């Protein structure tokens, strides 16, 4: 069982956050909500891991809409297909980059990918799936790190599509240049009982998780 004092030590109050974000209390409540809701959806991960990642990002948006001064975009098309996922409450429309927040999820330790290269705030929920619940009881999904960073258009690089007439491949995306360097010092939450080994997050002195 994780002790409360240990859990509190996983937060970093020195990380710069968007105006009205709500600081560590909002981050804590968002993580608790997400882990609780995602626990019932683990089977989706084993069927379609990419769909599950999308759900993690969606639940992140829902959580921040409830616990912070940021709200889901009320324009359905923008919210579902474009940018941003959230705007600061009371901001001008259209919002400036400082009033935009995109919620993303990844099971990789550093990468940030997007279909757009918009400037604005980005929150990345780094998660792992632990079906045996060996890290924490009743938690098959663990949010182990939360990165919050303001990205400029110049931080992105274009990653061309590998799809073609011959079939296969993925659609084009944008990736952050040197993500490990860019995210240095940007983790508002980082579990010390999870380490990165061979490019994957694993429990300290434990076996690799999915």
For the cut 70, the answer to whether the pLDDT of residue 170 exceeds it is: no
> Is residue 132 over pLDDT 70?
yes
- Burial status of residue 123 (CB atoms within 10 A of its CB: 0-12, 13-18, 19 or more): buried
pLDDT, position 60: 97
Find out whether the peptide bond into 84 is cis, omega within 30 degrees of 0.
Answer: yes
pLDDT tens-digit map of 150-161: 999 999 999 876
81-118 confidence digits (pLDDT tens):
467 999 999 999 889 999 999 999 999 999 999 988 99
pTM, 2 dp: 0.89
Helices (H), the chain: 4-8, 23-38, 42-47, 49-67, 76-81, 179-182
Write out pLDDT tens, residues 120-130: 999 999 999 99
Domain spans, the chain: 4-203
């Amino acid at each position: 069982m994780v002790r409360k004092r240990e859990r509190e030590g996983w937060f970093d109050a020195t990380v710069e956050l968007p105006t009205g974000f709500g600081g560590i209390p909002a981050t804590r409540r968002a993580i608790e909500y997400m882990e609780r809701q995602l626990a019932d959806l683990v089977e989706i991960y084993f069927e379609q891991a990419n769909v599950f990642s999308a759900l993690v990002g969606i639940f992140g948006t829902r959580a921040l809409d409830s616990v912070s001064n940021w709200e889901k975009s009320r324009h359905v098309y923008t919210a579902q297909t474009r940018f941003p996922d959230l705007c600061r409450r009371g901001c001008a429309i259209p919002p400036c980059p400082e009033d935009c927040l995109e919620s993303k999820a990844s099971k990789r330790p550093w990468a940030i990918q997007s279909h757009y290269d918009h400037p604005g705030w980005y929150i990345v929920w780094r998660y792992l799936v632990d079906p045996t619940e060996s890290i924490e009881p009743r938690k098959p999904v663990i949010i182990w790190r939360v990165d919050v960073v303001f990205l400029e258009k110049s931080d992105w690089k274009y990653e061309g599509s590998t799809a073609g007439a011959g079939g296969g491949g993925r659609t084009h995306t944008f990736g952050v240049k040197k993500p490990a360097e860019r995210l240095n010092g940007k983790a508002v939450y980082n579990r010390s009982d999870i380490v990165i080994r061979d490019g994957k997050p694993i429990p300290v002195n434990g076996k690799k998780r999915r």
